[in-house]
Each structure stands twice: as C-alpha cells, then as structure tokens.
Amino acid sequence: MNQSNSSSENSSPIRLDVVVVGGGFGGMCATYKFREMGLKIQSIEAGGDLGGVWYWNRYPGARVDLPSIDYSFSFSPEVEQEWTWSEQFAAQPELLRYIDFVANRLELRKHYQFNTRVTSASWDEERKLWVVKTDRGAVFEATYCIMATGPLSVPRDPDIPGLERFKGRIIRAGRWPHEPVSFTGLRVGVIGTGSTGIQIVQDVGPQAGELFVFQRTPSFTMPMRNENLTPEYVAEVKRNYAGIRNSARNSAVGGTRPQSTRAFFSVTPNQRQVLLEDAWKQGGLSMLGTFSDLLQNAEANEHVAEFVRGKIGEMVKDPRTAEALKPRGYPIFARRPCLDSSYYETYNLPHVHLIDCINDKIIEFTEKGIRTESGETELDLLILATGYDGLTGALKAFDVTGRDGRTINDKWSDGARSHLGIMLEGFPNLFMTTGPTGPAALANIIRISEHDVDWIATAMQYMDAHHLTAMEPTPEAEQEWMDLVYELSQRTLLSKAKTWYVGANVAGKPQGLTLFTGGFAKYAELCALATKDGYRSFQFSHRAEAGALGTEAKMAAVDAIAL
C-alpha cells in the first residue's frame, strides 16, 4: 500500500488548498476531483486503508442493499468500463475489491494519510484558513476543509450496564477483526436487529453452536433475491451507463429502482394483493416502489406492513417466534427497510433462539453472558450490532471550531443544522459530503457524494473567479433550508419510528428528522438553484487580486475583508 505518511510526524504547518477528512466513497470522490482541479490536497483517514464503512464492517454477511450497478462511481467512464460486478447486490469483500481497483486506477492512496485521526479543525478568521491537527502530530493549514466523514461512522455500544464484566469475546460489527472468526461450537449472542444484525444472524446462525438473538425492535425485512450478473447483462449495462446514471440523477432515490405514481387505494384490494405478491417475488426494495404513497399514507402503509407480517408468519415455523418477529407500532419503511436472503428461516434452526427483549428485558451483562428478566444466557462470543451515532456523530467526535470560537457541538446542541446538507453558517469554507439535512440515508450515498463534491468544486471555482477567500451560508438561508427540511419531513411517516434517522437511538441526542425528504433529484435541483442565483444565500470575503485556483502563493496573498 502506498501511503503518504512521511510528513505526518512533522508539527510545522503544511500549507494546502484542501484537507479532505475521510476515506470512504465521499472522501475518495473529493480527493480525485480536487486533485484533478490541480489543488494541493491532503486526505486523512482513521482506518488503515480506503473504504469507510466497508473497511470497518467486515462482519459475515455484510452486503450492500442497493444494486451494485447503482452503488458505484459514475465520474470515471474508464472505471465503469473496466470494472465488472459479479452480483446484483455486492458483498463487502467485492466492494473492497472495487474500492481497491478505483484507488489503484486513479492513484488515490498517495494523497492519503491512513491510521490517522483528525483531532481538531479550527477556522483562522484572520488568515482565512482551516488549521487541521492530527493524532500523529501533523498540522495542516488549508483554504478549504472537506468533511467526508460519513453518516454512519461512529458505532455505539448498547446502554446496558456491565459490558466490561463479560469474560467472553466481544466483537463490534462496525469494528470487525480482519482475521477470520470461527463460530463453530460457540454460544454466540447478537444484540441488534437492524440491517447489520439481520445480515449477521442469517450468516452466523447456520455456523454457530448456538445463536441467541437479543431483539428489542423487530425490523421489517424483505427478500433481497440476489443473483449473479450474467455477462450479457453486464455488457448491456456497460453500453448504457450514461443513460443509467442520467436516470439515477433524475430520480428520488439516486438509483434505478422504479418509482410508481400509483396511489395505494387507487387500485382494488385484489390488484393490490397481486402487486404486492409480485414485488415480494421480485425482491429488493420493489415493494416500496410499487405505490407512490407508502411513506405518506398511514393506512396504506399499514396494509403493506400487514402483508409483510403475513409473510413472516408463513416463513417462521414456531408461532411465538413468528409473532415476536412481526414488527408493530411503527410504519413499515420508517426504519431503514432491510433486505435478507434467509433471515426468517434461520429461526427455524433448532439451535437459533430469539430473545424478545420487549417482553424479557435485558438487565445487564454478566461475566458469563447476558441477564434478562427471565434468567441468564451464557455466551462465548457476543456480537454488538447496536448501530451508530448517525449523521452528526463523526463531526461531534472531535473539535471543529468555526468563526468566533463556536464549535459544531455548540451549533448542533439543539439538533443538526446546515444549509443544503453541505455548509454551515459560522463555519466558512467547511464543506460536508452527505451531511445532515441533505438526503443522506434516503438516497444512494454515492450519487449524493458525487453531487456534493461537484457542488463544492463549482463553489470553489466561483470563489476563485471572483477573488473570494471565504464563503458561508447566511443565517437566513440556513434557517430557510431548515424550515423546508422540517416542512417536508412533516409530510412523511419517517419520523414515526425510533431510529437513527431521528436521533432516537442515542441517549440525550436532540430528536428530529434532519434529513431532506424531498428526494435526490429535488435536492440536486435546489442545490443547483443556490448556485445559479449567484450564491445569494451565501456571504463571502474578498481578496484584493485575482487568483488562479490551485496556486498556493496567490491563495495566500489575500487581503481579507471581515465577513
């Protein structure tokens, strides 16, 4: 691996145009784009290599729940043509191979410092630059700071007392070891039944001596119906990539999943049943795309939820287990809908046990395992699939200090705020990819990352052309965006479940849906509008003379005017 760690121990500041924080898809995309623009960049990643969530989440069964064709970069036609996906929904090892391929093909690793955490980022108002410090003692000074830190990068442990008492092995799904883990003959416990827990259970269940699944809230999961891609299909896709990407960019989900304009109650009950059965057979998230109003109309939503509950009843043999697995009390699709291949059937194995922690609450971890109200379950290995401090966790985990000494923690003390999910009032020249109040979790994260990076690049070019040294949204513009995000969120059922989407999974976190629910295409349209109207929703600082983007000397020769 070619890592540019040589300068990391040096504490004298290194002057750059851009610091990129993060080595997931967003960071890779930003690194490539800004490098191609001729900017002097340094990218920083806490992990040992590129990949972001796919670097860390090596748990058995880890797999993307969007079609691989969509879940891939679109900015390089060469990469599109040279890379061949093998499965409709790629597994984590293939995703890492893809990331490795892209990194090699575009020579991205040379811009990165790996195994390095940013410890602080502070805006120097006088010099109009970001001072970024790392845990390896490096100090970077950059005109722009790009936070490509991802919506799901800070795993959280469950708020159950006594984890340190447990004498067996503990593995966190989001920090899975690189070496193989054997489950043979072991009593394995899994806490968490979101997307991660579901993938783990169906994979580990058949291998473990015994598997105990500690479920608090059951998720709705639908058949993935994954399949190998045929050479003919791949060739067809490669011929049509331009069109595929174009339709993805113009869609609500940033992908090729069909969307319907048909309202649920616009067709007869019989027709609905046929359509739902078809969608179930087709697999993936087809059910969500079968009707237009499943996230708006609670009654329609409940019909679909009941359809899926019926399927669970058919698949799980033990009626009590089936009943406990049926989600109730929140709308289907309001939690991230999961896709599985044998999750429910796994509970038909005699050595797989569901512990319903709603009726049999977890009290504590013990030396030997987990104590619930009904008794102690002894375990050799405990897997924590208990989710993430989503959307805001990564940027609140270190000191990010903007103008007037205000930190992101201060700014977000009542909940995440931003303009367009990309910029923050009070934090000039700080850009986020897939940030809170953008469409982050609700659309294809790679399309959003590419979009955001393009938007940022256009803003940088605008600043350069207009001799500007700093930009940030006006307070009014940020508030207007927040009002829009809030108003749109009121039209959906998404905030009706306790999820990481609304911050309900982290004790003390401000609650509220800080995601743009108007769809990816609309989001992109609004971001484009903010550019086309001459950046009226932003305020700028000026420099005295014209600069050429990427020429460090000119960037430094600024005559700053206070905002």
Please say which residue, 39 or 381, places its beta carbon nearer to ligand NA7: 381
For position 193 contacting ligand NA7 by CB under 6 A, the verdict is yes
Q: How far is the CB of 438 from ligand NA7 (least distance, A)?
A: 15
For position 336 contacting ligand NA7 by CB under 6 A, the verdict is yes
Please say which residue, 103 or 442, places its beta carbon nearer to ligand NA7: 442
**Binds ligand NA7 (CB under 6 A): choice among 24, 67, 369, 387:** 387
For position 500 contacting ligand NA7 by CB under 6 A, the verdict is yes
Please say which residue, 157 or 306, places its beta carbon nearer to ligand NA7: 157
Q: How far is the CB of 338 from ligand NA7 (least distance, A)?
A: 8
SS3 at position 483 = helix
Q: Which of residues 93-112 bind ligand NA7 (CB under 6 A)?
A: none
Rounded to 5°, the CA angle 368-370-373 comes to 130
- Segment near ligand NA7 (CB under 6 A), from 9-17, 139-147, 369-377, 383-391? 383-391
Helices (H), 174-240: 195-204, 231-239
What letters, b where the CB count within 10 A reaches 16 and e where it falls short, cover 127-142? Answer: ebbbbbbbebebebbb
CA distance 47 to 141: 22
Helices (H), 8-66: 25-36, 53-56
Please say which residue, 134 or 321, places its beta carbon nearer to ligand NA7: 321
- Segment near ligand NA7 (CB under 6 A), from 381-389, 451-459, 485-493, 539-547? 381-389
- Nearest CA to 377 out of 190, 524, 545 is that of 190
Q: Which of residues 503-532 bind ligand NA7 (CB under 6 A)?
A: 505
- Segment near ligand NA7 (CB under 6 A), from 248-256, 284-292, 380-388, 421-429? 380-388
What strands lie across the sheet with 375-378, from one edge to the other? 362-365, 369-372, 375-378
DSSP per residue, 228-259: BPPHHHHHHHHHTHHHHHHHHHTSSSSSS---
Q: How far is the CB of 502 from ligand NA7 (least distance, A)?
A: 11
Q: Which of residues 138-157 bind ligand NA7 (CB under 6 A)?
A: 152
Q: Determine the size of the site formed for ligand NA7 (CB under 6 A).
A: 24
Please say which residue, 71 or 130, places its beta carbon nearer to ligand NA7: 71
Residue of minimal CB distance from ligand NA7? 194
**Binds ligand NA7 (CB under 6 A): choice among 24, 61, 192, 205:** 192
Token pair recorded at residue 64: 């993307």
Q: How far is the CB of 37 from ligand NA7 (least distance, A)?
A: 31
CA distance 303 to 273: 10
For position 357 contacting ligand NA7 by CB under 6 A, the verdict is yes
Please say which residue, 159 or 476, places its beta carbon nearer to ligand NA7: 159
For position 194 contacting ligand NA7 by CB under 6 A, the verdict is yes
CA distance 323 to 309: 9
CA distance 507 to 271: 44
SS3 at position 413 = coil
- Nearest CA to 473 out of 431, 502, 515 is that of 431
Burial class from Cβ neighbours inside 10 Å (0-12, 13-18, 19+) for residue 294 reads buried
For position 195 contacting ligand NA7 by CB under 6 A, the verdict is yes
SS3 at position 371 = strand
- Segment near ligand NA7 (CB under 6 A), from 76-84, 192-200, 315-323, 514-522? 192-200
Please say which residue, 42 or 505, places its beta carbon nearer to ligand NA7: 505
For position 196 contacting ligand NA7 by CB under 6 A, the verdict is yes
What ranges make up the beta strands (E) of 287-437? Answer: 338-340, 352-356, 362-365, 369-372, 375-378, 381-384, 399-401, 430-432
Residue type at 154 in one-letter notation: V
- Segment near ligand NA7 (CB under 6 A), from 194-202, 308-316, 342-350, 516-524? 194-202
CA distance 485 to 425: 16
Q: Which of residues 431-460 bind ligand NA7 (CB under 6 A)?
A: 441
For position 284 contacting ligand NA7 by CB under 6 A, the verdict is no
User: Which residues of the shown chain bind ligand NA7 in the complex (CB under 6 A)?
Assistant: 152, 158-160, 191-197, 214, 216-217, 336, 357, 362, 385-388, 441, 500, 505
